[in-house]
């Protein structure tokens, strides 16, 4: 699997992000959809990667800096053709490594509460994320689940 910093200009990644947003909209009301669109993913403080095997797009993920010690997982999505093959775990491992490299002490995320998001929640739980309250600009919302992981200090890693 090859990770590429992506400028979001290619049609395969644009199609995957459309699918990601459509899925979120199917399972949550509009005011509770927090997935970033292409413009949101291009904002300062957000780094976006696509994952590839040869010419096949496997998935994507982004890391948003909330402050110097706190990052947020954004837009993590596995392409449908590659579901159940460990792509999600590899995407998350990539983000965890990047967060540690940046010196973040905490990595947080928001995901949906609907059953459709259960596989994502289980993935995060397996990697040590714990449920928490809203962080950053989020507010408490029945349709959202917030999770966070404390990261070891760089000298302890």
Contact at 8 Å (CB) between 150 and 108?
A: no
CA count, 13 A, side-chain hemisphere, 50 = 21
Could you report the per-residue pLDDT of 79-119, keeping only the tens digit for each? 999 999 999 999 999 999 999 999 999 999 999 999 999 99
For the chain, give the mean pLDDT.
94
The pLDDT assigned to 155 comes to: 59
pLDDT at 157 over 70: no
Q: What is the distance between the alpha carbons of residues 56 and 47, in angstroms, rounded to a whole number?
A: 21
Could you report the per-residue pLDDT of 53-87, keeping only the tens digit for each? 999 999 999 999 999 999 999 999 999 999 999 99
Q: Which CATH superfamily is domain 2-106 in?
A: Gcn5-related N-acetyltransferase (GNAT) (3.40.630.30)
For residues 40-49, one letter each, b for 16 or more C-beta atoms within 10 angstroms of the residue's C-beta and e for the rest, the string is ebeeeebbbb
Q: What is the distance between the alpha carbons of residues 137 and 119, in angstroms, rounded to a whole number?
A: 25
pLDDT at 25 over 90: no
Nearest C-alpha neighbor of 13 from the set 73, 58, 69, 80: 58
Question: What are the domain boundaries of the chain?
Answer: 2-106
Give pTM, 2 decimals: 0.92
Q: What is the distance between the alpha carbons of residues 118 and 65, in angstroms, rounded to a whole number?
A: 25
The pLDDT assigned to 152 comes to: 87
């Amino acid at each position: 699997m090859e990770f590429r910093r992506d400028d979001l200009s290619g049609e395969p990644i644009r199609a995957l992000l459309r699918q990601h947003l459509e899925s979120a909209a199917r399972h949550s009301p509009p005011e509770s959809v927090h997935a970033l669109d292409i413009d949101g993913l291009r904002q300062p403080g957000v780094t976006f990667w696509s994952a590839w095997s040869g010419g096949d797009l496997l998935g994507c993920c982004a890391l948003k800096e909330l402050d110097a010690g706190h990052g947020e997982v954004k837009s993590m999505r596995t392409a449908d053709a590659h579901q159940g093959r460990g792509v999600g775990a590899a995407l998350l491992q990539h983000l965890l490594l990047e967060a540690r490299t940046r010196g973040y002490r905490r990595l947080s995320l928001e995901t949906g509460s609907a059953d459709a998001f259960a596989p994502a929640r289980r993935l995060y739980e397996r990697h040590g994320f714990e449920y928490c309250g809203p962080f950053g600009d989020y507010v408490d919302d029945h349709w959202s689940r917030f999770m966070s992981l404390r990261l070891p200090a760089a000298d302890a890693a």
